[in-house]
Structure formats: C-alpha cells, structure tokens
Amino acid sequence: RKRIAVLTSGGDSQGMNCAVRAVVRAAIARDCEAYFIHEGYQGLVDGGDKICKASWGDVRKFVSVSGTIIGTARCMDFKTREGRLKGAENLIINGIDALVVIGGDGSLTGADLFRSEWKTLVTDLVSQKRITQQQASDNGHLTIVGLVGSIDNDMAGTDFTIGAVSSLHRICESVDNVTSTALSHKRAFVIEVMGRHCGWLALMAAVCTGADFVFIPEQPMDREEWKEKMCADIKAHRGQGRRATIVIVSEGAIDRDLKPIRSEDVAAVIEAECDLITRVTNLGHVQRGGVPASYDRVLGAVQGIQAVDVILKSTPASDSKLIAIQNNMNAPVGLMEAVQKTKDIASLVAAKRFDEAMQLRDPYFSL
C-alpha cells in the first residue's frame, strides 16, 4: 500500500485542519496508508513518534478547529542539507514516498528543494549505511504536492489561500466592533492588519468595512502624498456627516523608498491635520484564530482530496504540483512556477518597479 504523509509548516491558518483531514481520509478511501508528520519539517527531521500512522478516526472533529492540530514549526534544520538528509532517512524508514505539504511559499520552496535532491540524499544514505540498497530502490522517487495554507493570500497563481477568507472575516468583525466606539465618540481609528508583503487582507477589509483610507504594500506612497490624499478623504467624509474615521494599514505598507509606513505615524498625522482624537488598534494574532469560514473548510477539503489524486496519478517525471484555485476551479499547477512568480513580485518591489509588481498580482488588486 502506498504511504502518503501530510505536514503543516510555517504560520498556522484557519482551514489547515480541514485539509489535513481530507488528505488522511482521501488516502484511506483510495486504499493507501496515511501518516501524520507532527510539528512541520522539525518532525520530519526528528522522526520517531513525530511520524505516525493516521486513522480515519484520528481526524474526527478537525473541521471546525482553527490552527493546525498536528502542529507546525519554523525549522532551521530543514534549511541545511544534513537536516534534509535526516528527513529523507525518516521517510524511507517509514516507507513513505509521497508528501503533502501545507504551508506558505517558504515551506513549498523547501519541499521542492527536498524533492529535487532526493536521489542524491538516497545515495548518501546508502553510502553512509543508514539505509539498505533495497530500501533505496524501493524509495527511488519522492512525490510532493503543495497546498497553500496562509491567511495572507500572498501566493501567485491561486486566487485564494486556505485561511485568507476566515482571517478577513475576523478582521471585518474587529473593525465593526471598533467602529461602534468610533461612532459613539466621533473618533478616528487606525487599524493595522496582517498580510506581510501582500495587501489583500487590508484591501478587502477596507472594501468590506467601508474604511476611509487604506495603505497596502502594492501601492507605495510618499509621506506628503498620503498625508494629502488621506486627510482630504477624511475631511470630505466628515463634511458629509460621517462620525467615525477608519484607516486600515497593512503591516507591509511601504513608501516609495521601501520604508515602512507605521500606524503610529498615520495616527499622528490624523490627529494633527484633521483634529480628531485617534487611536491605533493592532489586531494581532486574533486574525489567525476563531472558527474557520465555510469557504476555507471547502477549500481545504477539496484541495486535500485533489492532492491525493495528483499523488496517485504522478510519475517520476512529473513536476511537483500545487493545488490552486483559479476562476472558481481547483486544479494542479506547477509548484515552483507559482512560488517563483511570488518571489518575482517581491524582487520587483525591492527594485521599486511597483507597477510591474502590481501586474503580477492576482486580479483583486486592479480594484
């Protein structure tokens, strides 16, 4: 029986558990054996009881729980060849030759590197007498499939990542809650949201909550520019009778010199220029918690099943795949193409080629 393992890596996100459950149950339903690797790549490197067989019942009640029950970690060991050698040894000892990695672009880059090195890792393990020749020939290939679990919606090539919609719900609830105080006291609030280098959460939160102004990394503005635009908008909205002012700042917001735009600076400008008592609220990790939205549950479930199907159809010559959703259709795409496009966006931003970076972003940014 084919043995398929699943791990979650990098930052947790809502819906990861649904994806893990779907991988386990799809594998069992297709007459394969499913394995958990606990604590992300650290569990792969450490082996032992971190790698264990998963039964149908082990994933019961996973659907409505956020985070990742099988654990995640940032693992420096896996960035070294020695760490990946131990990872390969642990997979081979357990007879596992297919791996579903649920994580962000870093985790998927690591996965692809691991797969591309596989043959040389196996050769080294044989020459160091850590595995037998028979084990090496039984494990000639490693199949990797990636699912993107991230609240940031920052992966190119997929319209949604697992967790982004739940996080957006959490942000909208929080902004609505803050708005009641803003309305009561006629105050201004600057609300900082997650997203790292991607402004999707901030932009969508601004659309969903009717914010006065939003700062996103994809649209850098110099201080004088944003000061003028933001204050003009706030004053115009107040002039129309609005009692509350809400400004959303993405944690990755930058100016044209790539310097961060800080929520505290934005608040100081509002106080000074618009004469409004202004508070900063950083939503922090609540954005990663709460119940997963039904959308993320469905995404995790469908993509988890597809991951197993892609594994069962793959050949040694196949590229590593990522299960993406594009135009409401879930389908495998080239894992490294998607990761590379995501890195290209970051490189274009670093080179201050903002318009080209924006063109590579997915359609929501044309709003």
Binding of ligand ATP at residue 341 (CB under 6 A)? no
104 near ligand ATP (CB under 6 A): yes
Q: Is 67 strand, coil or helix?
A: coil
195 binds ligand ATP (CB under 6 A): no
User: Judged by CB under 6 A, which stretch of 103-111, 133-141, 175-183, 302-310 contacts ligand ATP?
Assistant: 103-111
**Residue 117 or 273 with smaller CB distance to ligand ATP:** 117
Q: Please, which residues have CB within 8 angstroms of residue 236's CB and are 6 or more apart in sequence?
A: none
CA end-to-end span of the chain, whole Å? 49
Residue nearest to ligand ATP (CB): 106
Is 107 a residue that touches ligand ATP (CB under 6 A)? yes
DSSP E strands: which ranges in the chain?
3-8, 33-37, 51-54, 98-103, 143-150, 162-163, 188-193, 213-215, 245-250, 278-282, 321-326, 329-334
Residues 244-263 that bind ligand ATP (CB under 6 A): none
**Closer residue to ligand ATP in complex, CB, 10/199:** 10
Nearest Cα residue to 307 out of 296, 316, 299: 299
Q: Is 46 a catalytic residue?
A: no
Q: Given the complex with ligand ATP, which of 43 and 220 has the nearer CB atom?
A: 43
**How near is the Cβ of 79 to ligand ATP at its closest, in Å?**
5
- Three-class secondary structure of residue 109 per DSSP: helix
Residues that bind ligand ATP (rule: CB under 6 A) add up to a total of: 17
Give the 3-state secondary structure of residue 307.
Answer: helix
User: Residue 190 or residue 322: which is nearer to ligand ATP going by CB?
Assistant: 322
Q: How far is the CB of 13 from ligand ATP (least distance, A)?
A: 7
Distance of closest approach, residue 311 Cβ to ligand ATP, in angstroms: 20
Query: Taking CA 96 as the corner, what is the angle to CA 101 and CA 112, rounded to the nearest 5 degrees?
Result: 40
State the binding string over 71-90 for ligand ATP (x if CB under 6 A, else -): ---xx--xx-----------
Q: From edge to edge, which strands make up the β-sheet containing 188-193?
A: 213-215, 245-250, 188-193, 278-282
User: Quick count: other Cβ atoms within 10 Å of Cβ 281?
Assistant: 18
Applying CB under 6 A, among 4, 8, 10, 244 the residue interacting with ligand ATP is: 10
What count of other Cβ atoms lies within 10 Å of the Cβ of residue 78? 24
Position 109 contacts ligand ATP (CB under 6 A): yes
**Nearest-angstrom CA–CA distance, 152 and 162:** 9
Catalytic residue among 46, 97, 152, 154: 152
Nearest approach in angstroms of CB 220 to ligand ATP is 21
The bridge status of strand 188-193 relative to strand 278-282 is: parallel
- Is there binding between residue 291 and ligand ATP (CB under 6 A)? no
Q: Where are the beta strands (DSSP E) in 216-348?
A: 245-250, 278-282, 321-326, 329-334
Task: Give the dihedral of Cα atoms 272, 273, 275, 276; nearest 10 deg.
Answer: -90
Q: Which of 7, 8, 9, 146 binds ligand ATP (CB under 6 A)?
A: 9
Q: Is 19 in the site for ligand ATP (CB under 6 A)?
A: no
| Residues 21-50 within binding reach of ligand ATP (CB under 6 A) | 41
Burial 296-330 (b: 16+ CB within 10 A, else e): bbbbbbbbbbbbbebbbebeeeeebbbbbbeeeee
Residue 160 sits in the site that holds ligand ATP (CB under 6 A): no
**Is residue 103 a contact point for ligand ATP (CB under 6 A)?**
yes
Sole binder of ligand ATP in the list 7, 11, 38, 238 (CB under 6 A): 11
Nearer to ligand ATP, 23 or 211 (CB): 23
Q: What whole-number distance in Å separates Cα of residue 345 and Cα of residue 353?
A: 9
215 counts as binding ligand ATP under rule CB under 6 A: no
Please report, as ranges, the residues that interact with ligand ATP according to CB under 6 A.
Answer: 9-11, 41, 74-75, 78-79, 103-107, 109-110, 113, 150
Active site residues: 152
